[in-house]
Amino acid sequence: MYRRLADRFALTAGALALVCMVSVNAGAQQDKTADKAPAKTGDAPLKGGYAGKALAKPLPPGGPAPRTVDGHPDFSGIWFSGLLGREDATLVGSFGASDPSTRSFDPKVTPEEKPSFTPWALQKMKEVMFNLDPNVLRTYGITYTGATSPGERNFDKLPKDQQKAFLDVEIARVARECVPFGVPTIGSGLHGMQFVQTPGQLVELVDANHDYRVIPTDGRPHTKDPDPTFNGEERGHWEGDTLVIDTIAIDERVWNSANWRFHSDQEHVIERYSRPSMNYLIYQVTIEDPKVLTKPWVSAPHRFSLSVTHEPLGEWYCGVEPNEALDSLKELRQQLDK
């Protein structure tokens, strides 16, 4: 919950700041002193995310994983991305003072491959991303990853068409906050997740709109021609100490990520959970979609740590308060059209 609030704050602040910048500089030559912009999020990690504080210490393994009465590893508990077992550590990262221990994986150690899209999917990608060109963004030191504030360094130096595309992409993302995340995004924990496990069943709860899913783990087969849903038809089975969740019939309104905003009716998702020790959970996902991908896409193994706060899972609901971030983005987009 805290990271979501932090993302909203940073996004709103960045958008408002840039609205003012565009308004003041409209029709005027850009001031060369603008080159001295503040460092962007994620430039250089600060120790522990706080000035003068040492890096946070990752949780120890904590001994062997507990098991349920049927002998399988028990995933029950509240889990957070990274190695620290708490959500407030993630809050720090969203303001630019990132502690490496908050990452679910280290791309230098376990690099995550990029999806290999078919020609049809590449054209579709251009459409859903409003022709936002990642090569142009990289030229200006910007990488769009979702929840990226338009206050990003050098945003105002982008070609105008790319500024508009960037904002259109982000407006589309923020406007979807009331849409269920669906599979596979729900499986990656978002801003914290809770598992409740019983023999033959796993229940996952997340903070966003208090979404949930109930997964049978008794090895039952898929039904014939299931109706599409946001979480799809999920069927779990055990391969040793790894729980494998096989999902089909995923609603095509589901995004696979902020940068992968579509899939076909042929998408097939395989998630794998394991608990190598008391304090750690490993999650990996494979996506097959012959219309979209030339080969299956396999994520890096993502690490989650058991909550050390002993507090209940937080809550966040869309639509309860005015969406200031969306309003600010739309205002800035209108400024660029003038």
Q: What are phi and psi of 280, to 5 degrees?
A: -130, 145
Task: Choose the weakest-confidence range: 119-123, 154-158, 195-199, 246-250.
Answer: 154-158
pLDDT band at residue 310 under the 50/70/90 scheme: confident
Average pLDDT over residues 136-165: 83
210: left (phi over 0), alpha (psi -120 to 50) or beta: left
**157 touches 140 (CB < 8 A):** yes
CA distances from 255 to 133, 146, 250, 251, 264 (A): 19, 12, 10, 9, 11
Residues above pLDDT 70, as percent of the chain: 78
Mean pLDDT of all residues belonging to the chain: 83
- The secondary structure of the chain in percent helix, strand, coil, rounded to multiples of 5, reads 25, 20, 50
pLDDT at 16 over 60: no
Predicted pLDDT of residue 186: 94
Task: Choose the weakest-confidence range: 89-98, 131-140, 250-259.
Answer: 89-98
Report residue 274 CA to chain centroid gap: 20
Query: What 8-state DSSP symbol labels residue 82?
Result: S
Give the CB-side neighbour count of residue 331, counting CA atoms within 13 A: 18
Higher pLDDT, 30 or 198: 198
Q: Who contacts 23 (Cβ-Cβ below 8 Å, separation ≥6)?
A: 335
| Structure tokens that stand for 274 in this block | 């394991």
> For 198-248, what is each residue's pLDDT tens digit?
999 999 999 888 899 999 999 999 999 999 999 999 999 999 999 999 999
pLDDT band at residue 149 under the 50/70/90 scheme: low
Predicted pLDDT of residue 147: 59
Predicted pLDDT of residue 89: 54
Strands (E), 10-163: 77-81
CA distances from 216 to 54, 66, 87, 95 (A): 43, 20, 28, 39
Average pLDDT over residues 110-126: 95
Q: What is the pTM of this model?
A: 0.81
> What whole-number distance in Å separates Cα of residue 99 and Cα of residue 319?
31
Task: Choose the weakest-confidence range: 101-105, 129-133, 182-186, 278-282.
Answer: 101-105
Predicted pLDDT of residue 56: 79
Task: Choose the weakest-confidence range: 169-173, 196-200, 322-326.
Answer: 322-326
What DSSP line would sit under 131-179, residue for residue? T--HHHHHHTT----SS--TTSTTGGGS-HHHHHHHHHHHHHHHTTTTS
**207 touches 314 (CB < 8 A):** yes
